[in-house]
């Protein structure tokens, strides 16, 4: 039962889950989760809290799971536990639960490029497995690389050499890698080759946390389980699509990392492009991860080369004041890029991807703007087009802007909304963090929400020429004020692309 608008609403549910890629592998028994880079920012802010939430909800059982932190920093188990405690003690978490969970964590210190530390890690994992195997036999090992990508190849080599699951116990070894996966097409391919020599594709989970967000996961259901979207979702009806990411803070402490990558590599080439795939792809044959990812690849391969006049770059004033950012940095902290998909469904429809740091609000949303109604007998054209908005965050919502008769005696029209705000409609549901779902998927062996190698390649193919020109200083970002909408030129581009603002 859910409550909405003061009424009780009965919901009919139907469960669906995609099928795992690896068949005949154990999904129960002893599970070791190894967080490499455990001393770092991502580990404490996202990885450990996600593991804790899975533990609280019963997805990680203390009688089968053990968590290992690994990094170079020389600290004790308790030091690590104390570092992450405050990130876990949030919301309704009870301090006893936090303490119980922290006891599952063991820390091993070692370097990333020598066998010694990894042998020690393997010994600790094996001890845990032997202890657990007194009741049940399996060796499931999940390695989460919360590390700078520069060390991925050597770390993968060490895992392969020293830490693989014990085949006589069954189970599996899986590797989760974070973005950025490469800096351009060549470096990404090189990285893929290096890791690909060591691990098979079904063992590799390239994480893009946007794929774990509730409303991103809803996209396929929305599009393919609702009759009324089917005939409308195409170039005959849709005028333009915007996929927007805004943050109301700057690079804050991550200036060094950010300056090497910039907003296109940080957000657009991965997060926004993944969302574009789900908005634009054809219906997959089934929900099997391979079928879904086949369709995503086709969309990416249909994207036309980006035109200079359909790009606006920006850099916020004050960005270079960060001591870790070079004085003459050319790195964009804002970009609007129009992508055009050359296929039967989307020819002529601009997909406008926009992302920026230090803007006037924090928001991520998809805006689908429909064409004008032909033969406008109400003369209501200037009141606004139909628009379907999917707000990924904050406050997840979907709403449809539509024209209705102004209630009352007057015969006039007004723009209104059909509004599905999750906070109101699903009051008793806590929406899980993206990382929780995705880590759970890695344990279950479900690769649907992870980026396949050919997807990654196609994504880099789209952006590499533009990125090289920015890196070479040929394409310069325009300055903008922190707290603004970004450069005014971006709004002009939006208008040129066909977006109508009312």
Q: Which residues are catalytic?
A: 271
- SS3 state at 134: coil
Under rule CB under 6 A, residue 148 binds ligand NDP: yes
Q: Which CB atom, from 28 or from 82, has the smaller least distance to ligand NDP?
A: 82
Q: Which CB atom, from 264 or from 497, has the smaller least distance to ligand BG6?
A: 264
Chain position whose Cβ is nearest to ligand NDP: 40
Interface characters, 77-116, with ligand NDP (x: CB under 6 A):
-----------------------------------x----
CB-CB contact of 389 with 415 (8 Å): no
Whole-number Cα distances in Å, 216 to 339, 449, 470: 19, 10, 30
Distance from C-alpha of 254 to C-alpha of 180, rounded to nearest angstrom: 14
Residues of span 344-373 touching ligand BG6 by CB under 6 A: 364
Residues of span 197-226 touching ligand BG6 by CB under 6 A: 209
Residue 36: CB minimum distance to ligand NDP, A: 8
Under rule CB under 6 A, residue 341 binds ligand NDP: no
Beta strands in 178-267 (DSSP E): 204-206, 238-246
Angle between helices 273-280 and 453-471 (to 10 degrees): 130
Is residue 31 left, alpha or beta, with left meaning phi > 0 and alpha meaning psi from -120 to 50? Answer: beta
Distance from C-alpha of 337 to C-alpha of 306, rounded to nearest angstrom: 8
Residue 392: CB minimum distance to ligand BG6, A: 8
CB-CB contact of 50 with 436 (8 Å): yes
Distance from C-alpha of 84 to C-alpha of 428, rounded to nearest angstrom: 28
Name residues whose C-beta falls within 8 Å of residue 275's C-beta, 6 or more positions apart in sequence: 210, 216, 219, 243, 366, 392
Residue 149: CB minimum distance to ligand NDP, A: 5
Under rule CB under 6 A, residue 455 binds ligand BG6: no
Q: Which CB atom, from 175 or from 438, has the smaller least distance to ligand BG6?
A: 438
Residue 438: CB minimum distance to ligand BG6, A: 12
Q: Which CB atom, from 113 or from 376, has the smaller least distance to ligand NDP?
A: 113
Give the one residue of 41, 79, 116, 347 binding ligand NDP; rule: CB under 6 A.
41
Query: How many angstroms from the chain centroid is the CA of residue 32?
Result: 24
Distance from C-alpha of 498 to C-alpha of 321, rounded to nearest angstrom: 36
Q: Which CB atom, from 149 or from 170, has the smaller least distance to ligand NDP?
A: 149
Residues of span 272-291 touching ligand NDP by CB under 6 A: none
The residue among 196, 202, 169, 161 whose CA lies nearest residue 181 is: 196
Distance from C-alpha of 64 to C-alpha of 28, rounded to nearest angstrom: 8
Residue 191: CB minimum distance to ligand BG6, A: 17
Give the one residue of 125, 142, 146, 459 binding ligand NDP; rule: CB under 6 A.
146
Residue 209: CB minimum distance to ligand BG6, A: 6
Q: Which CB atom, from 45 or from 56, has the smaller least distance to ligand NDP?
A: 45
Looking at the DSSP bridge assignments, the partners of residue 144 are 35, 176
Distance from C-alpha of 380 to C-alpha of 384, rounded to nearest angstrom: 8
Whole-number Cα distances in Å, 133 to 58, 128, 169, 355: 21, 8, 9, 49
Residue 438: CB minimum distance to ligand NDP, A: 12
Token code pair at residue 180 = 């950025």
List the single partner that 41 binds among ligand NDP, ligand BG6, none, CB under 5 to 8 Å by kind.
ligand NDP
Give the one residue of 42, 204, 243, 470 binding ligand NDP; rule: CB under 6 A.
42
Under rule CB under 6 A, residue 40 binds ligand NDP: yes
List the single partner that 148 binds among ligand NDP, ligand BG6, none, CB under 5 to 8 Å by kind.
ligand NDP
List the single partner that 166 binds among ligand NDP, ligand BG6, none, CB under 5 to 8 Å by kind.
none
Residues of span 235-294 touching ligand BG6 by CB under 6 A: 247, 266
Residues of span 152-191 touching ligand NDP by CB under 6 A: 178-180
In a 10 Å sphere around its CB, with 0-12 CB exposed, 13-18 middle and 19+ buried, how is residue 120 labelled? middle
The residue among 118, 238, 260, 258 whose CA lies nearest residue 184 is: 260
CB-CB contact of 459 with 269 (8 Å): yes
Under rule CB under 6 A, residue 2 binds ligand NDP: no
Q: Tell me which residues touch ligand NDP (CB under 6 A).
A: 37, 39-43, 45, 71-73, 112, 146-149, 151, 178-180
Q: Tell me which residues touch ligand BG6 (CB under 6 A).
A: 209, 247, 266, 364
């Amino acid at each position: 039962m859910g409550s909405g608008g003061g009424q009780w609403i009965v919901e009919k549910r139907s469960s669906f889950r995609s099928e795992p890629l690896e068949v005949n592998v154990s999904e129960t028994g002893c599970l070791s989760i190894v967080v490499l880079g455990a001393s770092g920012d991502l580990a404490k802010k996202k990885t450990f809290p996600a593991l804790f939430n899975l533990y609280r909800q019963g997805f990680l059982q203390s009688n089968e799971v053990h968590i290992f932190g690994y990094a170079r920093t020389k600290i004790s188990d308790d030091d690590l536990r104390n570092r992450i405690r405050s990130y876990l003690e949030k919301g309704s978490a009870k301090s006893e639960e936090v303490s119980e969970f922290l006891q599952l964590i063991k820390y091993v210190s070692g370097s990333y490029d020598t066998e010694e530390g990894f042998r020690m890690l393997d010994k600790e994992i094996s001890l845990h497995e032997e202890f657990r195997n007194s009741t049940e036999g399996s060796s499931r090992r999940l390695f989460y690389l919360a590390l700078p990508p520069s060390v991925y190849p050597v770390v993968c080599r060490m895992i392969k050499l020293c830490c693989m699951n014990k085949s006589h116990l069954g189970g599996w070894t899986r590797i989760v890698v974070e973005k950025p996966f490469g800096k351009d097409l060549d470096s990404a391919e090189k990285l893929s080759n290096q890791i690909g020599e060591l691990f098979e594709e079904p063992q590799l989970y390239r994480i893009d946390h946007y794929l774990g967000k509730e409303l991103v996961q809803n996209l396929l259901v929305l599009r393919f389980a609702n009759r009324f979207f089917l005939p409308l979702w195409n170039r005959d009806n849709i005028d333009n699509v915007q996929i927007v990411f805004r943050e109301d803070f700057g690079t804050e402490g991550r200036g060094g990392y950010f300056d090497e990558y910039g907003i296109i590599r940080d957000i657009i080439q991965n997060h926004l492009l993944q969302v574009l795939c789900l908005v634009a792809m054809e219906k997959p044959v089934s929900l099997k991860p391979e079928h879904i990812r086949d369709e995503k690849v086709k969309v990416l391969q249909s994207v036309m080369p980006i035109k200079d006049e359909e790009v606006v770059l920006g850099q916020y004033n004050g960005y270079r004041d960060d001591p870790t950012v070079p004085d003459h940095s050319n790195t964009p902290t804002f970009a609007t890029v129009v992508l055009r998909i050359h296929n039967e469904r989307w020819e002529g429809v601009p997909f406008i991807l926009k992302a920026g740091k230090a803007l006037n609000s924090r928001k991520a949303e998809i805006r689908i703007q429909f064409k004008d109604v032909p033969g406008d007998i109400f003369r209501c054209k200037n009141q606004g087009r139909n628009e379907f908005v999917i707000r990924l965050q904050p406050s997840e919502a979907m709403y449809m802007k539509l024209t209705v008769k102004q209630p009352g005696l007057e015969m006039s029209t007004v723009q209104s909304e059909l509004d599905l705000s999750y906070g109101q409609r699903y009051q008793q549901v806590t929406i899980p963090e993206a990382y929780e779902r995705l880590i759970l998927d890695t344990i279950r062996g479900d690769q649907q929400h992870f980026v396949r190698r050919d997807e990654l390649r196609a994504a880099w193919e789209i952006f590499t020429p533009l990125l090289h020109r920015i890196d070479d200083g040929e394409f310069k970002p325009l300055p903008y004020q922190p707290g603004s909408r970004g450069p005014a030129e971006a709004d002009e581009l939006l208008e040129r692309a066909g977006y109508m603002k009312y």
